[in-house]
Structure 1
Amino acid sequence: MPVVVMLSLALQIGCAVHVVRSGRPMYWIWLILIGSYLAVVVYVLAAVLPDLRRDPRGRKAAGTAMRVIDPQRRRRELQRRLELSNTIDNRRRLAEECLQLGDHANAQELFQSLLTGMYATEPTFMLGLAQAQAEGGDPAAARHTLEALIAANPGFKSSEGHLLYARCLEDLGDTEAALQEFRVLADSYPGEEGRFRYGRLLGRHQRHSEARDVFEAQLRRAKLMPGYYRRKEQAWLKASRQELSRLDASAVEP
């Protein structure tokens, strides 16, 4: 069967399923079957796209697709907004987008520009700057920023900031201090990354028995969690299993 015909059938079946699930009049199915590609285009424009705009899941999926197709699109939009109105909020949004895109230099510059006047010690801006510094390969600067953040905002709490501080300590070779921070994060961080990083650092410094205990307890705990949680944390749980396998393999080596 020609590829063009197979593609047409697949699109027609997909649209027919959408007709049934969305409760639209059944005459749409006949139009789709008779009209082939033209009918599919008409149906998508008349029914599928409006549904996507109304459905939060559809909007999210569309946004994800646009990020894959054109990852710089939102950045360009935010840049235009900033050029039209140089507000704190517009700079913050552009800084966060640069950070997400991996443009750490511009993210640092933007976050630094926010830390002036009444916002000179704004904790969320200082945390953003520290994230840009750390991801940009300067853990010493990130550590300094985080310590200044806590000094200026002693009541500020952030699990992401705490994890970032521990990672900076590890990158800087301050192993005991990093282990102390990761030990706290193993119990307090809302996810599996804190436990994974704690166990991995123990293993890297030949504390294999302690590392094994951390990973085994982590995996036992994960089995008791809801399925959606295990799916969300799948990457870290997989990494923990791999670390545990390496520890077990090293234990049986002659």
Structure 2
Amino acid sequence: MPFVLLLSIALQIACAIHVVRSGRPLYWIWLILIGSYLAVGVYVLVAVIPDLRHDPRGRKAATKALHAIDPERRRRELQRQLEISDTVDNRRRLAEESLRLGDHGNAQELYQGLLSGMYATEPDFMLGLAQAQAGQEDYAGARQTLDALIKANPNHRSSDGHLLYARCLEELGETDAALDEYRVLADSYPGEEGRYRYGRLLARSQRAAEAREVLQSQIRRAQLMPGYYRRKEQPWLKAAKLELAQLSDA
């Protein structure tokens, strides 16, 4: 069967399902089946796109699709906004987007520019700077920034900052101190990364039995969590299972 025909059938089925789920008149199905690509195009314009605009899930899916097609789109928009109005908020948003895209050098420059005047010790900006430094493998610099953050903001609490500090200690070869931090994060970090990194560092420290116990407990615990949580944390759960398999083979 030609590809063009297969694609037409797939699109018609998808639109027909949308007709039923959205409660639209069933005559749309006959129009879609008869009109092929033309009818599908019309239906998407008059029904699917308006639904996406009013459905939070649809807007989220559309945003993700735009990011996948043009990942730099939002950054260009934020850059234009900054050129029009050089405000702290516009700089912050551009720094966060640069960090998300992995442009750690630009993010570091932006955060360093933000850390002045009344914002010289702003904890969120200092954490952003530390993340940008770690992204460039400057773990000593990131640790120094985090130490300064805690000194200037002793009551500030951040799970991401705590995890980053533990990672810096690990990368700098301070294994015992890193294990102490990861031990706390294994119970306090809101996700599976803290537990995985704790188990992995135990394994690398030749403490296989403890590592196995941590990772097995992590997987058992995750099985009791809701499906959406397991899907969100799948990369870390998969990494934990891989680490366990390697421990079993050793």
TM-score class, shorter: over 0.9
Which residue in 2 is equivalent to 1:196? 196
For structure 2, the 5+ residue unaligned runs are: none
Distance 1:3 1:219, change over 3 A: closer
Using the TM superposition, give the Cα deviation of residue 31 of structure 1 relative to its aligned residue in structure 2, in angstroms: 1.9
Q: Distance between the aligned counterparts of 1:34 and 1:162, measured in 2?
A: 60
Q: Which segment is superposed worse, 211-220 or 43-52? A: 211-220
Distance in structure 1 (CA, Å) of the matches to 2:96 and 2:229 = 26
- Whole-Å Cα distance in 2 between the matches of residues 84 and 116 of structure 1? 21
Q: Deviations over 1:16-72 (max 9, x none)?
A: 211111111222222222222111111111110000011010011111111110010
- Could you tell me how far apart the structure 1 residues matched to 2:225 and 2:14 are? 35
How big is the shift at 1:217?
A: 2.0
Tell me the CA shift for residue 115 of structure 1: 0.6
Report the counterpart of residue 54 of structure 1 in structure 2.
Answer: 54
Name the residue aligned to 1:135. Answer: 135
Query: Which secondary structure does the structure 1 equivalent of 2:109 belong to?
Result: helix
**Aligned-residue RMSD, C-alpha:** 1.1
Aligned-partner SS, 1:168: helix
Equivalent AA in structure 2 for residue 26 of structure 1: L
Q: Distance in 1 between matches of 2:32 and 2:197?
A: 54
TM-score, length-scaled by structure 1: 0.95
1:123 paired with 2:123, answer yes
1:236 shift after superposition? 1.2
Q: Kindly, what percent of the aligned residue pairs are identical?
A: 74
Which whole-Å CA distance do the structure 2 matches of 1:11 and 1:231 have between them?
A: 28
Shift of 1:2: 2.1
Work out the CA distance in 2 between the residues paired with 1:247 and 1:11. Answer: 47
- SS in structure 2 opposite 1:118? helix
Q: Tell me what 1:45 maps to.
A: 45
The letter for the 2-side match of 1:123 is: P
- What amino acid sits opposite 1:83 in the alignment? E
**Given the two structures, how large is their TM-score scaled by the length of structure 2?**
0.97
SS at match of 2:16: helix
Match of 1:210 in 2: 210
The offset of 1:91, in angstroms, is: 0.4
For residues 94-113 of structure 1, the aligned pairs below 5 Å read: 94-113=94-113
1:33 to 1:227, Cα distance in 2 relative to 1, 3 A: closer
Moved more, 235-244 or 68-77: 235-244
1:3 equivalent in structure 2: 3
Stretches of 4+ moved more than 4 A in 1?
Answer: none
Measured at CA, do residues 223 and 35 of structure 1 come closer, stay the same or move farther in structure 2, by a change above 3 Å? closer
Structure 1 position 219, deviation (Å): 2.0
Q: Does the alignment pair 1:17 with 2:27?
A: no
The alignment covers a number of residue pairs equal to 250
CA displacement, residues 188-214 of structure 1 (integer Å, 9 cap, x when unaligned): 111111111111111111111221221
In 1, Cα distance between equivalents of 2:42 and 2:12: 12
The whole-number CA distance in structure 1 between the counterparts of 2:77 and 2:163 is 31
Deviation at 1:142, TM superposition (A): 0.3
